Amino acid sequence: MDDSTGRRQTDDVVAQDQEGQVDPAAARAEEEVVESFQGTVDKGAERLHRGWRALLTTGFFGGLEVGLGIMAYLAVLHQTGDHLLAGLAFGIGLAALYLAHSELFTEGFLLPIMALFAGRGTLLQLLRLWGVTLLTNLAGGWVFMWLVAKAFPEFGEVLTESARHFVDSPLDLRAVTLSLLGGIVITVLTRMQQGTDSDGVKVVAAFAAGFLLAGLSLFHSVLDSIIIFGAIHAEGSVTYGEWLAWFWYVTPLNLLGGLVFVTALRLVRASELPEAPGPDNRVEEGAGS
């Protein structure tokens, strides 16, 4: 579709004045929405069509980079005992994740779904992206936290206390809502970073999301699993069985929070756009895999 056709289609969905003329301001705003949608779909398609080598390395490094934020979080919490201040320090991890172009499992709740919606990928590719990224995130975080636990044995107490906050939590309404909020926050972060071209603004958004996730101790399947791994490495008073008993319900609830409260609403908006999926922009099943 050329630019002139896109503008004409955009004009069809924007507000008109009393004489039936298109409002230029509304048309421009709609064009920006279309451009944002196109960019989101392109980035989501790129992730869906990554080769195995890229998928494995970006996921593993994603776990390492989140670990950087956790190391900063632990250092501040150890010195101050202030969870909110430590949560602000954790933003280092999300900023590193963005600037290094690595992959976090929960980032896959928006961009790849939009690409799938636009016909630029398949369900099998989405499941491959989610599964491989989750496993490699955990592997990278496990390795990094072994290094942290051995390098900073003084973090052992705060690691154990932090891990206990998660593994000792019963599966009740509070745990469900903390998990849903974790999925919402990380998916809103992805949405915010797609809404601007400024790297500085994207980094600020990363610190804001990090503050909410770590500072408020929301339940996040990858972030908190890495903290739990650190406690296992440090003092051994937390077990892998306790981690799994927590992890099995947090992961789908993170997914539910991101998909239902953020991505689904974005899809409703995208369905009105001229770039919404149709027979002319569907890809062949399995293409690019």
CATH number, domain containing residue 145: 1.20.1080.10
40, 116 in Cβ contact below 8 A? no
Is residue 6 in some structural domain?
no
Taking only the tens place, the pLDDT of each residue in 116-136 is 988 899 999 999 999 999 999
Taking only the tens place, the pLDDT of each residue in 51-76 is 999 999 999 999 999 999 999 999 99
Residue appearing with tokens 């900073």: 152
Taking only the tens place, the pLDDT of each residue in 267-284 is 887 776 655 554 444 444
With 70 as the cut, is the pLDDT of residue 5 above it? no
As a whole number, the mean pLDDT across the chain is 86
Average pLDDT over residues 252-269: 91
160 is in which domain, residue-wise?
38-270
d(CA 59, CA 139): 9
d(CA 125, CA 53): 15
Please, which pLDDT band fits residue 24 given cuts at 50, 70 and 90? Answer: low
Q: 216: helix, coil or strand?
A: coil
16, 22 in Cβ contact below 8 A? yes
Higher pLDDT, residue 2 or 185: 185
Q: 138-152: b or e for each residue (b if 16 or more CB lie within 10 Å)?
A: bebbbebbbebbeeb
Is residue 192 in some structural domain?
yes
d(CA 287, CA 289): 6
Determine the straight-line distance between the first and last CA of the chain, rounded to whole angstroms.
Answer: 25
For the beta carbon of residue 69, count every other beta carbon within 10 angstroms.
26
Residue appearing with tokens 């942290």: 148
For the beta carbon of residue 223, count every other beta carbon within 10 angstroms.
28
Q: What percent of the chain has pLDDT over 90?
A: 71
d(CA 252, CA 258): 10
Is residue 21 in some structural domain?
no
Is residue 288 in some structural domain?
no
Is residue 61 in some structural domain?
yes
Please, which pLDDT band fits residue 8 given cuts at 50, 70 and 90? Answer: very low
Is residue 9 in some structural domain?
no
User: pTM to 2 decimals?
Assistant: 0.84
State how many domains the chain has. Answer: 1
